[in-house]
Structure 1
Amino acid sequence: MVGTARTGERAGDPPELMIDLGAVRDDPVDVEPRRPFTWRRLRPVALGLVAALLLTTGGSGLPPEPILSEIASFPHPPARQQAAFPDRGMLLTEDRLFIAAPEQGDLIWRVSAYELDRGRRVWTYDLPVWPGTKLELQHRAGILLLTGPRPDRTGMRTVAVDDRTGRERWSLPNDVQSLGDDGTALAIDMVFPDDPALADSPEGRSSSYASPWGTFYGGPPLGRVVTGIDLGTGQVRWRSELLSSAVIDVRVLFSDGTLSRMPDRDYDLAVRTADGAAELRDPRTGAVRHRFPTVNPGALQLGGDLVLVRHNSLEVTAYSTQTYRQVWSRPVRDDTFLGFCSSDELICESGPQGAWTIDRADGKRLWPIPREHAIAEAGGHLIEFVPQGTMRPLRTVDPLTGAPRLHLMNWKRADVMASGRVLFVNPETFSGPTWLGVLRPGWVAPVALGMVPVGVSDCQLTAKVIACTTTDNALRIWRYRTPVQAEDE
């Protein structure tokens, strides 16, 4: 018997669907009726289907769908601008959000810690400051470091507070930079002559030298002093003599501590001594590891296994930080920069004639960077940006040739985090809704997370959490999960 199913006769309806039902026999009257299907009868069939699915998928379940869910939101008025610095700091961890904002006529910075799951403020800490100055936040090994100018503008100061309780652990009159979660920190402080210039005089400012703490001096800095510090106690381990300059690894400067460790070696500290030598020193003890055969070097740069030394503005030499041997040397123009241009030791050259990436192995040019474009390393990728008010991602490129790999023009903004993660943003309008995506180390391409109903800015991203200030004068926190398995999960 053949049956016909009609779906409609009106104009515009889909065509008739013919279904072959096969031959149908009338059951004898005396045959016992079939029992109705119940869960008890269907359960063995369902289990068999599940088993078959598991076998066809290699014995593993399907990956979870992308999830983006808001976990907290609270009012957050727009930041004011003072002394060319934003007057609010934000730092996000996996379970805390730290916010610093000026209060009481800008005479103090109020630092607040929020619990992510409920958006509840768990503690506050007030730090007296000079009005209109900037506060830097760092988080390492259960400690929040607050660094800014002293209230009398005589230098910098760092206060360490417990990230769980907000209680002060120690305070030092230094500009402290943490090296990671191993309990080591360094302070690199500028030393100026004792005769400050008239800071309120425009004429004095034009002929004077500005310090990081906002005071103007009549002469250039005398040099820098490096101090080794125990991060947990604030105890000073060692202090250097007056140095001409001192730099730490670029990966330490631009890392949140999760990716900055070298696999087989401790950090280095590169210094230029007062007598005109370039040295590598141990940041834990201050001991000299090696003195390079160079006289009166210029700028020093340090990145992983290379230290770059500029000689008389006309030559750059690369030395190995492991063998201490010269790797390469090449001439440069006095109006050309050649050095590290990314947190992952990417070397670039830029000047009036253009910009290029540089081969770390021999110092030669690899490929040209298009004019006014920018290159940043993130998540194992090189991302090319096009300046359009904000840095809009254009594509990822091959690090050896510059050839395009993955186009990113569907995203209007990419915020590169210190950890190597990238938050991609694509707003439909200024006020939202906004699509969010994430790229993490080890991933091949960004993963779209979903859409949030507002416009976002000033975002931070961790392995599982996103926090952004929004166009509706709020600070919102989302927890995210993706179907991609990453190395840091």
Structure 2
Amino acid sequence: MALIELDLTAQPEPSPRRSIPPAYRYRLPGLALAAVLLLALGGAAPAGPTVWRYLGAVPAVESGGAQSRLAGDRVYTMTVLGAERSATAWQVGDPPRKLWSVTYPARRTTPDDVGFGGADAHPAGDQVLFTDGPATTAVDARSGHVLWRSPVTVGALPGNRNGLSITQVFRPGTVYDQASGDPGLLYFSSTGEPHTEPPVRTEVHGVDLRTGADRWTVALPGSVNVLPAPGNDPAVLVVASDRLDRIDGNTGAITRSVALPKIGKVGPTGGELAGGMLVVRYGAYGAAGQEVGYAPDTLEKRWQRAVPEVLLDPPGCAGVLCAGPRTNLEVLDPATGRTAWHAPATVDLTVQSGYVVEVDIDSGNPVRLVDPATGATRVDLAGWFGGITDDVELPLVVRRALDAGRSAFGVVSGGRVQLLGASAGPVSDCTAGARYVMCRGNEGLQFWRYRAQ
């Protein structure tokens, strides 16, 4: 069988999404029911009757490729209709209402194609970027008219004027014969085509989100990591085998560049953003090596540290700078690269609204919210079995089971879990934004407005 290497090429994607189950229809009619819920929720802070309001439902599309995305005060539903995708925009309100529908060609796949996930929607200013695997279709957010299509992923940069896409150029004759099953390293293009050699060059494109035309292109030799820079300025970070560049997202100009010398005989093999720092890796992932931290705005080198070998069961640290193994899980200070505190061996780590979230590796339930600098408990999440907030910058909305399939909801506010309300019936596949909760229930996709106090 073939050994697949995750090379330096990385596609721009939205921040990882955390979805977990349910909700339905519920209004707090009086103090008696509020008291019952408070007892059921084991110490969550009480809330007034205005913090939770059922708005209504929209029909849920029942198909194998159905997806939905809550984004601000809109929800987008997507499904496959033969050779086409169908996407519908709904305004979340009291009641929710349909805005428009659009169809566009679905990505054609074969059993040998690399999986890129299902359909999704990413609002970007006046446009909505619908992704179907690696392909992107841009739609006017007001009218639903298709503006342009791309065979590769296009991600929006801050400001929503320009997007970012990546393509690779391979030497002819290097496409991998999947029927052969020959062993060896594989390198994948932006469309998922496997090759037996790394690309000759990688092209980074700045894309006009209104027209889909390239505003600029920067060609770099070989394989690279491309990362949207943190912050409000449209900028791109590129980790190559010999240097680190910061590119202006509006013009394509290289505004900063630093050399990445070898450490011993080993050069850079990849890079990622963690804890607000750009971390460049030397040596194969999982093997012993070195990591070097750079400030993503100035590209100033801040620290260098040895990395231990972790071949089996490495800890999951999404957005958190950490070092394994699990039996000695260290959370590092991004500014210095030194150990700040130790996390339990039974958790993975992620971030949410300024906290580090410890997530139980067996159940997937959030355990507690901790101070990112010290590891001290800030909010105990015992009894809540799901965090459903989409955006890592927003307060965490949590869920727990009640009787008859119903669910109760709370939001982390003021250093505690504030009780919001509950569903009137069984629900699943819940997600939350800044003001709304959406769940799949008996009536379709159901919506509540919530308010943290």
- Does the CA-based 8 Å contact 2:294-2:303 persist in structure 1? yes
User: 1:478 maps to which residue?
Assistant: 448
Per the alignment, residue 243 of structure 2 pairs with 277
Give the whole-Å Cα distance in 2 for the aligned partners of 1:445 and 1:202: 57
SS in 1 for 2:366: strand
Q: Which has the larger radius of gyration?
A: 1
Q: 1:326 Cα deviation (Å)?
A: 2.0
Q: Secondary structure at the match of 1:286?
A: coil
Per the alignment, do residues 97 and 194 of structure 1 end up closer, same or farther by CA in structure 2, a change over 3 Å counting? farther
Match of 1:257 in 2: none
Instruction: Provide the secondary structure at the position in 1 that maps to 2:416.
Output: coil
CA distance in 2, matches of 1:426, 1:222: 51
* Alpha-carbon contact 2:256-2:298 (below 8 Å) kept: no
In the TM superposition, residue 141 of structure 1 has moved relative to its aligned partner by 0.7
In 1, Cα distance between equivalents of 2:342 and 2:194: 40
Q: Deviations over 1:232-272 (max 9, x none)?
A: 33332101113421322475xxxxxxxxx34xxx2442223
- Over the residues paired in the alignment, what is the CA RMSD in angstroms? 3.1
Contact 1:247 1:302 in 2 (8 A): no
Cα gap change, 1:320/1:476 in structure 2, threshold over 3 Å: closer, same or farther?
same
Contact persistence 1:249–1:303 (CA under 8 A): no
Where do 4+ consecutive residues of structure 1 move more than 6 Å?
336-340
Match of 1:385 in 2: 359
Q: Which residue of 2 aligns with 1:299?
A: 270
31, 48, 52: which is aligned to 1:68? 52
Q: Distance in 2 between matches of 1:397 and 1:182?
A: 33
Q: Deviations over 1:191-213 (max 9, x none)?
A: 445443344x3725987555554
Contact 2:368/2:382 (8 A) holds in 1 = yes
TM-superposed CA distance for 1:342, in Å, is 3.7
Instruction: Work out the CA distance in 2 between the residues paired with 1:283 and 1:339.
Output: 33
**TM-score of the superposed pair, with normalisation by structure 2:** 0.75
Which residue pairs with 1:126 in the alignment? 103
State the 1:469 CA deviation. Answer: 1.7
Structure 1 residue 182, shift from structure 2 partner: 4.1
Aligned amino acid, residue 126 of structure 1:
T
**Alpha carbons of structure 1 residues 383 and 286: separation in structure 2 relative to 1, 3 Å:** same
Equivalent runs, 1:71-470 vs 2, <5 Å? 71-76=55-60, 80=64, 87-104=65-82, 107-117=83-93, 118-131=95-108, 134-149=118-133, 156-195=134-173, 196-199=175-178, 201=179, 203=181, 208-209=186-187, 211=189, 213-243=191-221, 244-249=223-228, 261-262=231-232, 266-273=233-240, 276-295=242-261, 296-302=267-273, 306-313=277-284, 314-335=289-310, 341-343=317-319, 346-351=320-325, 354-389=328-363, 391-421=364-394, 422-429=396-403, 432-439=405-412, 443-470=414-441
Does the CA contact (< 8 Å) of 2:316 and 2:349 recur in 1?
no
- Which whole-Å CA distance do the structure 1 matches of 2:281 and 2:270 have between them? 5
Deviates more, 1:242-251 or 1:364-373: 242-251
Call closer, same or farther: CA 1:323–1:213 in 2, change over 3 Å.
closer
Give the Å deviation of 1:227: 0.4
Stretches of structure 1 lacking an aligned partner (at least 5 in a row): 1-62, 81-86, 150-155, 252-260, 485-489
Give the 3 Å change call, closer, same or farther, for CA 137–386 of structure 1 in structure 2. same
- Does the aligned pair in 1 maintain the 2:331–2:340 contact within 8 Å? yes
Secondary structure (helix, strand or coil) at the match of 1:363 reads coil
Offset of 1:91 from its aligned partner?
A: 1.9
Instruction: Report the CA distance between 1:424 and its aligned residue.
Output: 0.5
* Paired-residue identity, %: 24
The structure-2 alpha-carbon separation of the partners of 1:120 and 1:174, relative to structure 1 and needing over 3 Å to count, comes to same
Identify if the C-alpha distance between structure 1 residues 69 and 282 changes in structure 2 by more than 3 Å, giving closer, same or farther. Answer: same
Q: CA deviation at 1:112?
A: 1.0
Pair 76,64 (structure 1): closer, same or farther in 2 beyond 3 Å: same
Q: Distance in 2 between matches of 1:361 and 1:445?
A: 28
Aligned-partner Cα distance in 1 for 2:75–2:177: 40
Report the CA distance shift for 1:215/1:188 in structure 2 as closer, same or farther (over 3 A): closer
1:290 deviates by 2.2
1:38 corresponds in structure 2 to none
Give 1:73 deviation, angstroms.
Answer: 1.5
CA distance in 2, matches of 1:455, 1:108: 32
Contact 2:405 2:425 in 1 (8 A): yes
Superposed CA deviations along residues 76-96 of structure 1, whole A, max 9, x for unmatched, are 25563xxxxxx3332223332
Residue 340 of structure 1 and its aligned partner are, at CA, apart by 10
- CA deviations on 1:282-337 (whole Å, 9 max, x unpaired) are 22222222222323422122458632222345211112234443211111235479
SS in 2 for 1:446: strand
Q: SS of the counterpart of 1:241? A: strand
- Look up the SS of the partner of 1:477 in the other structure: strand
Query: Per-residue deviation at 1:458?
Result: 2.6
Letter in 2 for 1:294: L
Shift of 1:434: 0.7
Deviation string, structure 1 residues 44-90 (Cα, Å, up to 9, x no partner): xxxxxxxxxxxxxxxxxxx964432222223425563xxxxxx3332
Higher relative contact order (CA 8 A, sep 6+): 2
Give the C-alpha shift of residue 145 in structure 1: 0.3
